[in-house]
Amino acid sequence: MTTVSEVLELLAQGKALDDEQADMMFGRLMDGELEPASAGAFLMGLRAKGEDSTDLAAGVRAGLRHARPIPGYTDGQVNLPVIDTCGTGGDGSLSFNCSTAVALFLADMGYKVAKHGNRSVSSSCGSADVLEALGVPLMQSPDEAATSLNEHNFAFLFAPNYHPAFKHIMPVRQALGIRTLFNFMGPLLNPARPTHQLLGVGDPSKLQLMGETLLLTGIERAMVISGAGGFDEVTTFGPARGYLIHDGIMEKTTVNPDRLGFAAHCAEDVKVAGKDEAVAIMQEILAGKGPEAMMDMVAVNLAVCLHLVEQQSMRDCADRARAAVKQGLTKGIPNAG
């Protein structure tokens, strides 16, 4: 059996790990069995070597094994598509909560949405912040989340509530004070194990890494995308590029909003100044009365999600998405108190 010291020596030499070595290290890390010095050396060694999909997939497998399961969903007993719209964040755009709005519109249209998320990282207000302000409970138990999915088509899975093993990792990350592999792991750790996903990536250089990892960890159909200007969303101010994942393969794809009938906007049009404005704008969008640039950005991302689940043409999905966003939510904010 490979030892921790042997793995660290491999990383010191810049050598790649195999599945067994990576699984062993991430398993011990999340079990709290690595000394802080070894844990820090491991994460630093991965970064210095250059993280690859073997490393990230091993981290995801370990994270999901340690996550709190959602009854009926984690085990795949619910035989329905489940989609997530969680992106990596980190794009520094200070934009409105587009992926959260998309998730709520999807649920309103009858699709099961398990939205994995956290508080603000790069936006003015994170998905957890805005949903909490709208009355959606953050600290649901796994049973409550399953009930919410069953009855309202929506559950917000607040990441800190579902990943208790991360208590062993957070002190190490804070002590290191630099980016580690865990910065990319959040969107891949949904404990409901969604079958479909729109995964926005703020750093275009990480698109292939994220796509390959989704392939390795098992997803039915997904799009890994980076928008114009490094947004971790599909944008209306330029084409979004990335990968479409389906049937066990990954192929390059581009989403051109102008070809889908969307007007061109600019990045400044989708910024918000802080939490209060983010919440107010979200309420307007959900009522079908938001600013045109933001409504269009929600619609184009919603169109991609519909395309992933329904496999209809992007143009047809864009038409459906525009109509839904213009109408606003018909059933209110799901599970809001």
pLDDT in tens, 249-259: 999 999 999 99
pLDDT for 160 equals: 92
Average of pLDDT values for 102-121?
A: 92
**What residues contact residue 81 under an 8 Å CB cut-off, 6+ apart?**
111, 112, 195, 196, 220, 309
Does residue 223 have a pLDDT over 80? yes
Same-domain pairing of 13 and 141: no
Same-domain pairing of 152 and 25: no
Kindly state whether residue 230 falls inside one of the protein's structural domains: yes
Annotate 255-275 with DSSP letters as a single string.
Answer: E-GGGGTPPP--GGGGB-SSH
Kindly state whether residue 286 falls inside one of the protein's structural domains: yes
pLDDT for 123 equals: 54
pLDDT for 53 equals: 95
Kindly state whether residue 335 falls inside one of the protein's structural domains: no
Average of pLDDT values for 63-67?
A: 96
Same-domain pairing of 38 and 176: no
Number of domains in the chain: 2
Does residue 273 have a pLDDT over 90? no
What confidence category does residue 124 fall into, taking pLDDT thresholds of 50, 70 and 90?
low
**Distance, CA of 319 to CA of 303 (rounded, Å):** 8
Kindly state whether residue 228 falls inside one of the protein's structural domains: yes
Same-domain pairing of 297 and 228: yes
Kindly state whether residue 69 falls inside one of the protein's structural domains: no
The whole-model pTM stands at 0.95
Does residue 25 have a pLDDT over 70? yes
Average of pLDDT values for 302-311?
A: 97
Does residue 89 have a pLDDT over 80? no
Kindly state whether residue 332 falls inside one of the protein's structural domains: no
Provide the residue range defining the domain that includes 202: 82-160+168-327
What confidence category does residue 125 fall into, taking pLDDT thresholds of 50, 70 and 90?
confident
Same-domain pairing of 43 and 86: no
**What is the domain-level CATH number for residue 276?**
3.40.1030.10
Same-domain pairing of 181 and 100: yes
Kindly state whether residue 135 falls inside one of the protein's structural domains: yes
Same-domain pairing of 116 and 197: yes
Percent of the chain predicted with pLDDT > 90: 85
**Distance, CA of 285 to CA of 96 (rounded, Å):** 10
Average of pLDDT values for 61-85?
A: 95
Same-domain pairing of 120 and 223: yes
What confidence category does residue 121 fall into, taking pLDDT thresholds of 50, 70 and 90?
low
Q: What angle do CA 251, 46, 246 make, to 5 degrees?
A: 15
Same-domain pairing of 267 and 199: yes
Percent of the chain predicted with pLDDT > 70: 97
Does residue 68 have a pLDDT over 70? yes
Average of pLDDT values for 172-198?
A: 92
Least confident of 46-55, 119-128, 238-247: 119-128
Inter-axis angle of helices 314-327 and 98-108, to 10 degrees?
Answer: 90
Average of pLDDT values for 108-127?
A: 83
Same-domain pairing of 142 and 273: yes
Same-domain pairing of 205 and 299: yes
pLDDT for 92 equals: 67
**What residues contact residue 194 under an 8 Å CB cut-off, 6+ apart?**
82, 83, 84, 114, 219
Does residue 295 have a pLDDT over 80? yes
For 120-239, where are the E strands, in sequence order? 154-158, 196-200, 221-226
